[in-house]
Structure 1
Amino acid sequence: MTDQIQRMMKRLEGDGPIEKHILLLKLTEALESAPEFGDKAVMDTSSPQRQWLSKVGALLSRLGIDKKVNFKSSFTTLVQYWPYAIVQIQGQVLDAIEEIKLELELEDRSDIGSAYAPGDVYRFFADLKDVINSAEFEVMIVDPYFNGEAFDAYLSSANPELDIKILADRYSKDISNYAEKHKTQYGTGIELRRSKELHDRIIFIDQDVAWIMGGSIKDAGKKATYLIPLQTPLALAKKEIYQQIWSKSKEVEHSA
């Protein structure tokens, strides 16, 4: 089964704990940071109110056709019944939050993020694979001890259309051997750089999602660790820091 078919099947089967944690985090942030709506409709595309509605609509649509239909129904009444429709939509967000919490509780994954005891090798492996496979556009891995074995485990089956950046240090030459062979066979967009300024073990997914780890990916499951999604403002701040480090870091040349 190809990776593309696997990703399609996964979407049909529904979200796993990793996706649910991100949706729960984003919906909670949206509810807590909702702008003042007032009594009259504000539909200008640059307004905080309209941007909030667009974001919430996208999140609710991700949870299934029923959530999408309910949101669209409320959205179409905004101009005529602004205060009432806003209350409806906020209620839909709250209901979705409680529904996700219950689903996670039933899966024994109620805390946002996960902790792993020594020996939880497969559980960490499966969760981190889900994190990487959730990307639609780009992945950036920051880990000073990321190595070729970790590349093979987590990136060898990644979507070849992704832009993949790896910011590592000690084992950069080892990674380059895997990355070059992968690019040769699949034509993937993989960039590898080396820096001594790395303070985190963190994975950036697409625009504003980031997962931080308690130790190097190569040791995960062998030692106690954790995998936790960062709140959006912190994820964006961390991403800016590491983009600056990336811009001045050394590109790793492949050694034949």
Structure 2
Amino acid sequence: MALDSDAVEAVAFDSYGTLVDVMSIEDTIGEYVDSPEPVTKLMRNRSLGYAMVGNAIEEYDSFLEMNRHALRYAVETLGLDVSEDEREEIISALETVPVFDDVHPVLERLNERGYDCYVVSNGSEDMLETMVDHGDLEDLIADTVSADEIEQFKPDAPLYRHAADRIGVEPEAICYTAAGWWDVPGAVHVGMQGVWINRQDTLWGPYETEPALTIDSMGELADELE
């Protein structure tokens, strides 16, 4: 499978880990613990696990709330003394994580080429609103689509299909870019053209499904669509 740039009518992105550096929360965690990296990784993995289990058992809570539970799990599992107020300071930092350096110039290039750019995210509506505002993305993002709208998370199919309906084009006309090895397969499964930006230099999963394109930076995506 290769990216069919001629078929692309809209470009969609995941948010956390793709447009903004969610792992930078490690800096805030480091204000309260001596070794923040294990906390950050355990929190991130646990929050994703909570999302997938929530889908499976048809229970929904906001992504921010699941991260709150995941952070508590991480610090208690690692035996760390982090108070509830300190955990709230860490969770608040999730809403103001920085935009990756390659995002603004690429979104500008795509907009100039006539592509409307969207965000499709497990993040709550409030989180996405803050992300767009804090990241100075208002003029570059046409709209955001949140899991809150259907109370179901990626990588299950309904949120991708809902996003295609919201965007107003068929799934195969959407170029969907994400850093998550678990996220891109969900988009491809519903017919979107999935682009995997391998920001963490990791391995693709053991799937028969393959991304239409694998890139190391956003600039490669803009090159393909020009």
TM-score above 0.5, yes or no: no
Q: Could you state the TM-score of these two structures normalised by the residue count of structure 2?
A: 0.29
Return the structure number with greater relative CO, CA threshold 8 A, min gap 6: 2
